[in-house]
A and B are shown apart, each in its own frame.
Chain A
């Protein structure tokens, strides 16, 4: 058990120095390296926290209170750190992951396109990791918000990366240039909106508990008025939903994250976005007593998120954008587990009766398992993307890659492992998470059926959406891997002249290999992992969970005698391997020794093979599947204000009006037959923005006429409202 005080000072020292060094000595290359070493040290300490934590109920806390004269005058403000199993899980996840990213960065940041920004990235990386760890270990509303703010600023700074890159050099397209320009702005707006909602919800709780400490919030959770609890829940759901990128607030993720450097992109989308899920678990389960309908709401939001985002992922042909959409899809899957747990968390006989406890546990285990899996395979996919970006001179357009598996075999094969994992096929880890989620939903049906609850409809509908999104994920990765990595190169030899001739250096390779082996390992030892995760679940549910220990290598969650849920892993894998060997032996035995095959070009109906324009494009590949849904594709509308192409009346080369979100996703870049898919949600936001721009002038003139008395009046009104709210909440 590590002393929390020591831990706090260690990571503060390491990341703090790592943050300051490259800024002060920006000319020195050594400072950047030192900063990465410091990040490595801090992260590995954080990564070890889980294993230094012997029992789930041991809590380490540290109170750093100001000991000066201020203490007497001001409300008590103390930094309190509490590392329970839930915090330790997230801390370790962030730490372990950023250790790998830091290792990878040593080599990756050498690429020429990082040259100008290396020290900034290293510095912001330190701040980002530190603030992420702080968010999950602080035990106090004030410092939570402060840590979230630091995280926002650090990431906002990283999101400037592409913009500053394009300012120096040439942007690949005008669309990209525009997106890079608005990304930091969009991120700051979104993040602050989210923090505002979260702050409102936490302050409501704090007023009730008369303290900012999480301990008193937890203590007050039982005596909370249901109406206030619901308000808190809704505010927190909106705030955290925006931060996690749940539909309809998913629009910012695929815009902002691809603009950050790919090294930290892995961290920000693999882990940092899950901070919102950590906070959901804290707030919903510990600060509030969940009501079943919350669960249904969260379940619906989760499944809609999963389906909508995988739909847009199919349309995109930019690797980074497609992966960003997939991240949100996986957040949706994780949220589904949280939703099922919320339905049963009240433990009332009306919903689950005796079964409620283990269904909640199962759902939470599913959720956490998928969270862990997603961090691993998505991290792997991002790191591979970063490698490709370095190798191909920043080409991440899948329609221009192709055939990478022969050019860069290490990167491509590790990417393929990630692709199989995310598509959820055994024996890799994605399967376990998806399987557990489906099991949680299926088993959640049984008590609802017994009570003829309407919730059954919601669970079934959500499950269908979930399964559709699984199938679409598999399709999307056939498309990504098939067009980007397999086949023959899709661009001409001369445009590939600036591509690297060799695969990435060994350091990057080994990090990617390590993550790929984690993908396999987590798929092969689900029993051990579930055993570890049940410690976290025990903390979330506030008690010891009835989750029997795993037997042998089968994951067995016995809930009712005679009907265990089994997930055999090793035996089927052995059978499949044996069958494969038998088939191989058979072909060897039957095949005559003589006769060699001469490799030829693929069959194309007898015409000479031209790889660049004969291969099936991603747009063609996805056409059939896209045609199932509404508004699958249409020609681009160049008249729209958000379209970066020149609209009539605007001089050539003018930029689009800042403020609009690019709402048309390019499906095919063909010059003769360009196709786009309209992103419904972004288009809706654009309408909203349009309305605001049109009306803000008159409204603004009325509200802000530069008269000091008017502003004083506003302050007066705001104070009155605050007082009324305070009394209403405290009094109830």
Chain B
């Protein structure tokens, strides 16, 4: 059973489009629109997958490989992280997670330059700029966790936070600061509103979509899906590491089919809560000028630094 649960990440990969569907639905409701159904992303993906990939003459094989690289790297992340149970296929630390995120970004930025168009370069430039800002922020979160728990192993930190339980968790202010920092970094990392508006398609304002602009057909389907998986993974990471509730969805002690069903239900509920928060955020916040996103990333850095200082000075 535990062996099988190692593959729980596959569920996240499969449900990621549905999650985006829910997000869009929530945003539509908040705007008093009807919105498309929550399964619309699946239809989009299947439709795109049935179309041949149109690649520009100037592209090389690298351009064709990149969608697969993106898909497998983000899928790998899902399989390495605990989703609703602590069992994973391999135990990794958070540094590997950062490097895998960076790797996907690197491959995608190279693909942006491979077509030789102006827009692709624009996107690559922005992607790597954001990469610089988020990587520093994420590493500070890791340092803070190291200072707090003396380990950076993903599963170890996961266990420690769930052992705390949410009542004790709220009594640890540094963890709340870290949660806020990570949430902000997730917005930056997944190209959501302060950086990029996923709802628009104007070439000059985009970062991520400017590279995807050159992709078509099944390549585009994979890229879109990979992006959905990425957001799903990041939200799962945030939810599992920094929102250790509800108790009945405890991924450590859920045994048997009923326990697992409860854990899965709790996980879904938590994800929907996070999506709702994201929808509120996206509808209430403006997109920032590209160079001013140094601001939010500095906020994330300051939050993590405060958490580190708090941990050191108020040791118990």
Contacts and interface: CB of A to CB of B under 8 A. Distances in A.
Interface of A: 402-403, 405-406, 416, 420, 423-426, 431, 434-435, 438-439, 442, 445-446, 449, 452, 456, 460, 463-464, 467-468, 470-472, 474-475, 477-478, 481-483, 486-488, 563, 565-568, 571-572, 575-577, 579-580, 583-584, 586-587, 590-592, 595-605, 609, 611, 614-617, 620-625, 627-628
Given A474-B106, A482-B110, A614-B118, A597 B99 contact: no
B206 interface: no
Given A403-B58, A563-B150, A597-B216, 20 more contacts: A423-B106, A445-B147, A449-B312, A463-B143, A464-B140, A482-B110, A486-B114, A488-B58, A565-B93, A568-B90, A575-B79, A580-B72, A583-B71, A586-B49, A587-B221, A599-B55, A600-B57, A602-B59, A604-B117, A605-B203
Contacts of B153: 563, 566
A603 B72 contact: no
Contacts of B90: 568, 571-572, 575
Nearest to A467: B139
B226 to A, nearest CB: 9
A336 to B, nearest CB: 14
A587 B92 CA distance: 30
Interface in B153-176: 153, 156
B180 interface: no
Interface string B138-156: 0110110011001111001
Contacts of B114: 405, 482, 486-487
Nearest to A476: B128
A445 B217 CA distance: 49
Contact of B152 (A442, A474, A597): A442
Nearest to B222: A583
Contacts of A617: 121
A405 B58 CA distance: 10
B125 interface: yes
Nearest to B60: A405
Contact of A568 (B91, B112, B113): B91
B52 A591 contact: yes
B76 A572 contact: yes
Contacts of A425: 99, 102-103, 106
Contacts of A583: 67-68, 71-72, 222
B146 A621 contact: no
A563 B156 contact: yes
30 contacts: A403-B116, A435-B95, A439-B95, A460-B308, A471-B132, A478-B106, A478-B128, A482-B124, A486-B113, A488-B116, A566-B92, A568-B96, A572-B92, A576-B76, A579-B71, A579-B72, A579-B79, A583-B222, A591-B218, A597-B52, A602-B116, A609-B117, A615-B116, A616-B113, A616-B120, A616-B121, A616-B122, A617-B121, A620-B125, A621-B121
A467 B50 CA distance: 41
A595 B146 contact: no
A50 B182 CA distance: 46
Contact of B214 (A439, A472, A602, A609): A602
B73 interface: yes
Most chain B Cβ neighbours within 10 Å, of A438, A565, A617:
A438
Contacts of A474: 102, 105-106, 128, 131
Given A405-B60, A591-B50, A478 B109 contact: yes
Given A449-B147, A620-B125, A580 B69 contact: yes
A439 B92 CA distance: 13
A5 B197 CA distance: 70
A591 B57 contact: no
Contacts of B115: 487, 602
A627 to B, nearest CB: 6
A467 B128 contact: no
B312 A452 contact: yes
Interface in B206-240: 213-214, 216-218, 221-222
Nearest 3 pairs of A and B residues by beta carbon: A616-B121, A482-B113, A487-B116
Contacts of B89: 571, 575
Contacts, number: 240
Given A463-B139, A486-B110, A600 B56 contact: yes
Contact of B291 (A449, A609, A627): A627
Nearest to B68: A580
B191 interface: no
A675 to B, nearest CB: 15
Interface residues of chain B: helix, strand, loop or mixed (majority): helix
Contacts of A406: 60
Which of the four size classes fits the interface of chain B?
35 or more
A618 B28 CA distance: 41
A624 B294 contact: no
B103 A426 contact: yes
A284 B153 CA distance: 33
B59 to A, nearest CB: 8
Interface string B66-109: 01110111011001100000000111110110011011011001
Most chain B Cβ neighbours within 10 Å, of A452, A487, A628:
A487
A593 to B, nearest CB: 10
Contacts of A615: 116-118, 121
A373 to B, nearest CB: 15
Given A460-B308, A487-B58, A587-B218, A620 B69 contact: no
A615 B116 CA distance: 5
A468 B152 CA distance: 19
A477 B128 CA distance: 11
Most chain B Cβ neighbours within 10 Å, of A463, A478, A595, A599:
A478
Contacts of B93: 565-566
Given A439-B95, A572-B76, A591-B49, A601 B132 contact: no
B139 A486 contact: no
Nearest to B71: A583
B219 to A, nearest CB: 8
A464 B117 CA distance: 34
A475 B132 contact: yes
Given A446-B150, A486-B62, A576 B99 contact: no
A624 B152 contact: no
Interface string B297-316: 00000000000100010000
B270 interface: no
Contacts of A620: 121, 125
Contacts of A609: 117
A431 B53 contact: no
A646 to B, nearest CB: 34
Contacts of B121: 482, 615-617, 620-621
Contacts of A423: 106
Contacts of B58: 403, 487-488, 601-602, 611
B214 A471 contact: no
Contacts of A566: 91-93, 153
B54 interface: yes
A426 B96 contact: yes
Contacts of A587: 49, 218, 221-222
B116 A471 contact: no
A590 B128 CA distance: 33
A438 to B, nearest CB: 6
B25 interface: no
Contacts of B80: 572, 575
B54 A598 contact: yes
Nearest to B116: A487
A647 B300 CA distance: 48
A402 to B, nearest CB: 8
A310 to B, nearest CB: 11
A446 B218 contact: no
Contacts of B103: 425-426
Nearest to B149: A563
A576 B72 contact: yes
Contact of A471 (B46, B54, B135): B135
B184 to A, nearest CB: 17
Nearest to A468: B136
Given A590-B50, A597-B55, A604-B117, A442 B143 contact: yes
